[in-house]
Chains A and B, each alone.
Chain A
Amino acid sequence: MADKLRSSVEAESIRPVLPLATAQPEPAAGSAASPKHADRRAYQKAIGQGLRKYFNAVVSEPIPEEFLDLLNKMDQDDKDGSK
């Protein structure tokens, strides 16, 4: 872990990348209200809800202690380094 901490970062590679690609047309929001279409819409919506449920289930997990240990170690390494 300590070796990883000391390894160098490629600074530029982690700069947020701004959108460059040209805009694509949005998928057409169907207005034809056939029952089949409505079912499909409901299913698509349910997929979105299901994915959110999965995401939130992981979000609500307690954070393992190793994450805090890592933060404390990085903090300490900074302090040791600046002495």
Chain B
Amino acid sequence: MTTADGAGTREAGVAREEAQLVALRAGDAAAFGELVDRLNGSLLRLARMYASNPAIAEEVVQEAWIGVIQGLDRFEGRSSLRTWCSRIVINIARTRAAREHRQIPFSAFDDPSAGAEPAVEAERFLPASDPEWPGHWVSYPARWDEVPEERALARETRDLIDAAIADLPPSQREVITLRDVNGWGADEVCNALGISATNQRVLLHRARARVRRSLERHLVPGETSMGQVDGGTAAFR
């Protein structure tokens, strides 16, 4: 078995996974309960990206768990348990979505350069012809650390982020959900979605840039219109 080059923490993680897999194969129901505790939430989030409603997402995840129970002997341990379980969820969810003739994320076949747009609106920068500062900020982005914490952590902000992610093109949505919402590593996301490291980075870049723009409009209203450099932060003092 080849493991990625890695630090001790990763090796400890691999050892833990192996122990868990041995317990699962031996029919240890407590180990299975722990696996459900650890993964159900993120699998559900994954399924929701493909499902037309939350009830279907729950069904998909349940079906996937049954697949996990039945497939444990076929699982070779080449990927993490989490990656393997996620692939089962993705397969079931995609099959169901296709049956319902709905558009489904398929990052593996997406051209990452399609629909390319700059991370930040072009008009936020001085033109290339500017004699002194070509391509530099017209006015600096605001410092969000001056936004009151209650505002940043408010339910409203959470909802806004969820809505911004839901609005993304499907392949960007898949990548940012796994990476930033679920907190997975880059390798794991490439593995689960079957995409290259470069493709993963490009999709993540676009997705984060768009979510940042939504947050900016929400946290610093009026920021996208041009203001002067030092006036930008005064609004929410």
The answer to whether A and B belong to the same complex is: no
